[in-house]
Amino acid sequence: MPDNLSLYIERDSPLQRLNPLTKLAISFSLILIGFLGPGYWLATLLFICVLVPLSIWGKIGPEFLQRTVRLILPLALFLFVMQSLFYPGGRTVLWRFWIFSVKLEGVQFAYLTATRLMNMVGAFLLLLLSTHPSTLMTDLTRRGVSPSLTYILVSTLQIIPQMRNKANTIIDAQRSRGLETQGSVRARIGALLPLVGPLVFGSLVDVEERAIALEARAFKAKRVKTSLIHVPDSVRQRQVRIGLVVLTLVMIGIRLWPL
Amino acid sequence: MAIIAIQNLTYHYPQTTQPALQDLSFQVEEGEFVAVIGANGAGKSTLCYALTGFAPHFFRGEMSGQVLVAGLDTRHTPLEELMLVAGLVFQNPGNQISGAKFTVYEEIAFGLENLGVPPAEMRPRIDRIMALTGITDFANRSPYALSGGQQQRVALASILVMEPKLLVLDEPTSQLDPIGSREVFETIRAMSKQGMTVIMAEHKLEWVATFADRVIALANGEIILNGPPAEVLTSPLLIEHHIGQTRYTTVAKQAQAEQLWPPERALPVVIDEAEAGFRAYKK
Amino acid sequence: MSFSERLKADFSTMTLVLIPVAIAINIVIGQIVSLLKLPVYLDSIGTVLVGVLAGPWAGALTGVLSNTIWGLTIDPNALPWFPVALFIGLVAGLCANAGLFKTWWKVVISGLLIAIVAAIVSSFINVALYGGITASGSSFLTAYLMASGRGVIESVLATSFIFEPIDKVATALLAWFIIKGLSKRYVSRFPRAENA
Q: Where are the domains of chain A?
A: 1-144+234-259, 146-217
| Nearest CA-CA distance, residue C173 and chain B, Å | 26
Mean pLDDT of B55-62: 91
Q: Other C-beta atoms within 10 Å of B173: how many?
A: 25
Q: Do A155 and B54 touch (CB under 8 A)?
A: no
CA separation (Å) from A177 to A195, A196, C29?
Answer: 13, 16, 19
Tell me the residue length of chain B: 283
Q: Do C130 and A185 touch (CB under 8 A)?
A: no
Q: What is the dihedral of CA A224, A227, A232, A237, to 10 degrees?
A: -50
Q: What string of pLDDT tens digits covers the 196 residues of chain C? A: 789 999 999 999 999 999 999 999 999 888 888 777 777 889 999 999 999 999 999 999 999 999 998 887 777 778 888 999 999 999 999 999 999 999 999 999 999 999 999 999 988 888 887 776 665 666 777 777 777 777 777 777 877 788 889 999 999 999 999 999 999 889 999 999 999 8
CATH class (in words) of the domain with range C3-195:
mainly alpha
Q: Other C-beta atoms within 10 Å of B256: how many?
A: 16
Q: Do C185 and B14 touch (CB under 8 A)?
A: yes
pLDDT of C133 reads 67
Instruction: Give the HSE-up count for residue B11: Cα atoms under 13 Å, Cβ half-sphere.
Output: 32
Per-residue confidence band for B143, with pLDDT thresholds at 50, 70 and 90:
very high
Q: What pLDDT, in 10s, does the model give residues C53-87?
A: 999 999 999 999 999 988 877 777 788 889 999 99
Q: Which amino acid is at A145?
A: V
Sign of the CA dihedral with B46 first, then B50, B56, and B59 last: negative
Across the interface, which of B13, B15, B99 has its CB nearest the CB of C20?
B99
CB of B242 within 8 Å of a chain C CB? The answer is no
With contact defined as beta carbons under 8 Å apart, do C97 and C195 qualify?
yes
CB of B13 within 8 Å of a chain C CB? The answer is yes
Closest C-alpha to A30, from A169, A123, A168: A123
Please report the DSSP string for chain C in residue order.
--HHHHHHHHT-HHHHHHHHHHHHHHHHHHHHHHHTT-S-----HHHHHHHHHH-HHHHHHHHHHHHHHHHHHT-GGGGGGHHHHHHHHHHHHHHHHTTTTSSHHHHHHHHHHHHHHHHHHHHHHIIIIITT--SSTTHHHHHHHHHTT--HHHHHHHHHHHHHHHHHHHHHHHHHHHHHHS-HHHHTTSTTGGG-
What is the SS3 assignment for B87?
A: strand
pLDDT of C134 reads 67
Across the interface, which of B94, B98, B105 has its CB nearest the CB of A214?
B98
Across the interface, which of C17, C20, C184 has its CB nearest the CB of B15?
C184
What residues of chain C lie within 8 A of the CB of B60, using their CB? 188
| B neighbour chains, 3+ CB pairs within 8 Å | A, C
Q: Do A228 and B159 touch (CB under 8 A)?
A: no
Instruction: Give the HSE-up count for residue A129: Cα atoms under 13 Å, Cβ half-sphere.
Output: 27
pLDDT of A1 reads 45
Across the interface, which of C65, C135, C143 has its CB nearest the CB of A156?
C65
Which residues, 6+ apart, have CB-to-CB distance to B118 below 8 Å?
A226
Rounded distance, CA B235 to CA B209, Å? Answer: 13
Q: Is the pLDDT of residue B233 over 90?
A: yes
Q: What pLDDT, in 10s, does the model give residues B81-129?
A: 999 999 999 999 999 999 999 999 999 999 999 999 999 999 999 999 9
Q: Do C79 and A120 touch (CB under 8 A)?
A: yes
With contact defined as beta carbons under 8 Å apart, do C65 and C46 qualify?
no
Q: What CATH number does domain B2-240 carry, 3.40.140.80, 3.40.109.10, 3.30.565.10, 3.40.50.300? A: 3.40.50.300
- Using CB atoms and an 8 Å cut-off, which of residues 110-169 of chain C contact chain A? 129-135, 139, 142-143, 146-147, 152
ipTM of the complex: 0.92
Rounded distance, CA B95 to CA A162, Å? Answer: 12
Q: What string of pLDDT tens digits covers the 259 residues of chain A? A: 466 778 888 889 999 999 999 999 999 999 999 988 888 899 999 999 999 999 999 999 999 999 999 888 988 888 888 777 777 666 777 777 776 778 888 888 889 989 998 999 999 999 999 999 989 999 999 999 999 999 999 999 999 888 888 878 777 776 776 655 556 777 777 777 777 888 899 899 999 999 999 999 999 988 889 999 999 999 999 999 999 999 999 988 888 876 6
Chain centre to alpha carbon of residue C89: 5
What residues of chain A lie within 8 A of the CB of B46, using their CB? none
CB of A10 within 8 Å of a chain B CB? The answer is no
With contact defined as beta carbons under 8 Å apart, do C172 and C111 qualify?
yes
Q: Do C20 and A152 touch (CB under 8 A)?
A: yes
Which residues, 6+ apart, have CB-to-CB distance to B236 below 8 Å?
none
| Nearest CA-CA distance, residue B181 and chain A, Å | 20
Per-residue confidence band for B231, with pLDDT thresholds at 50, 70 and 90:
very high
CB of C39 within 8 Å of a chain B CB? The answer is no
Surface-to-core class of residue B200, CB atoms within 10 Å of its CB (0-12 exposed, 13-18 middle, 19+ buried)? buried
Across the interface, which of C23, C65, C72 has its CB nearest the CB of A124?
C72
| A neighbour chains, 3+ CB pairs within 8 Å | B, C
Q: Where are the domains of chain B?
A: 2-240, 246-283
Across the interface, which of A150, A215, A224 has its CB nearest the CB of B79?
A215
Encode C73-94: b = buried (16+ Cβ within 10 Å), e = exposed.
beebbbbbbbbbbbbbbbbbbb
